[in-house]
C-alpha cells in the first residue's frame, strides 16, 4: 500500500494564496507607487525579490495541491474498487468496506447496516 501524506489544504489554502498575491502584486505595487515620489536604487531589487517570492509561493502551493488531489483520486478509486468487498477479520468474520460494520459473516450477501451488496469471489476475480 502506498504511503500517503496527510494534506488538507482546505483550511489554509486561501491564506497561502493570499500571502502569495501580497508578495506577487501588493508589495511590488506599493513599491512602484513609492518609487514615483522618491528615487532610490533599492526599490527595483526589492520589487523583483518580492515578485519572485510570490511566484515561488504560488508555484509550490500549486504543486502541493496537485499532490493532494492526486492522492484523493487514488484513495477514492481504491475505495470505489473495494467497497463491495468483505475484508476478512478472522474466523468467519468480515468487515463491510462501505460502512465499517464488523458483524458481517461469510454467508452474508449484503450488509445489514448499510445494505450494500457484497461481490462474490468469482465476480471479484472476473473484474481483476
Ligand atoms: Zn455496510
Can you give the residue ranges of every domain in the chain?
Answer: 13-81, 86-127
Read off the C-alpha cell for 5: 501524506
CA of 70 relative to ligand 1 center, distance in Å = 27
Q: So what's the pLDDT on residue 124?
A: 55
pLDDT tens, position by position, 31-48: 999 999 988 899 999 999
CB 89 within 8 A of CB 81: no
Q: Is 121 exposed, middle or buried (0-12, 13-18, 19+ CB in 10 A)?
A: exposed
CA of 64 relative to ligand 1 center, distance in Å = 34
Question: Mean per-residue pLDDT for 76-85?
Answer: 88
Residue 116's contacts (CB-CB under 8 Å, 6 or more residues apart) are 83, 84, 96, 98, 99, 110
CA of 99 relative to ligand 1 center, distance in Å = 4
CA of 55 relative to ligand 1 center, distance in Å = 47
**Residue 27 in this model has a pLDDT that exceeds 90:** yes
CA of 45 relative to ligand 1 center, distance in Å = 61
CA of 85 relative to ligand 1 center, distance in Å = 10
How far does CA 32 lie from the centroid of its chain? Answer: 37
How far does CA 61 lie from the centroid of its chain? Answer: 12
Give the angle subtended at the CA of 118 by the CAs of 113 and 122, to the nearest 5°. Answer: 165
Question: Mean per-residue pLDDT for 5-23?
Answer: 82
CA of 26 relative to ligand 1 center, distance in Å = 52
CA of 38 relative to ligand 1 center, distance in Å = 70
Q: So what's the pLDDT on residue 39?
A: 86
Going by the DSSP 8-state scheme, the letter that residue 128 receives in this structure is: -
Read off the C-alpha cell for 123: 465476480
CB 26 within 8 A of CB 19: no
pLDDT tens, position by position, 101-110: 999 998 999 9
Amino acid at each position: 500500500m502506498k504511503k500517503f501524506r496527510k494534506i488538507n489544504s482546505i483550511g489554509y489554502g486561501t491564506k497561502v494564496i493570499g500571502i502569495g498575491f501580497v508578495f506577487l502584486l501588493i508589495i511590488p505595487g506599493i513599491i512602484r507607487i513609492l518609487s514615483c515620489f522618491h528615487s532610490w536604487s533599492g526599490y527595483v531589487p526589492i520589487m523583483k525579490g518580492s515578485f519572485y517570492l510570490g511566484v515561488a509561493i504560488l508555484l509550490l502551493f500549486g504543486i502541493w495541491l496537485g499532490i493532494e488531489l492526486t492522492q484523493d483520486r487514488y484513495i477514492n478509486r481504491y475505495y470505489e474498487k473495494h467497497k463491495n468487498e468483505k475484508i476478512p477479520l478472522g474466523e468467519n468474520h468480515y468487515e463491510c468496506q462501505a460502512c465499517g460494520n464488523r458483524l458481517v459473516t461469510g454467508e452474508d450477501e449484503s450488509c445489514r447496516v448499510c445494505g450494500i451488496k457484497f461481490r462474490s469471489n468469482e465476480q471479484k476475480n472476473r473484474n481483476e
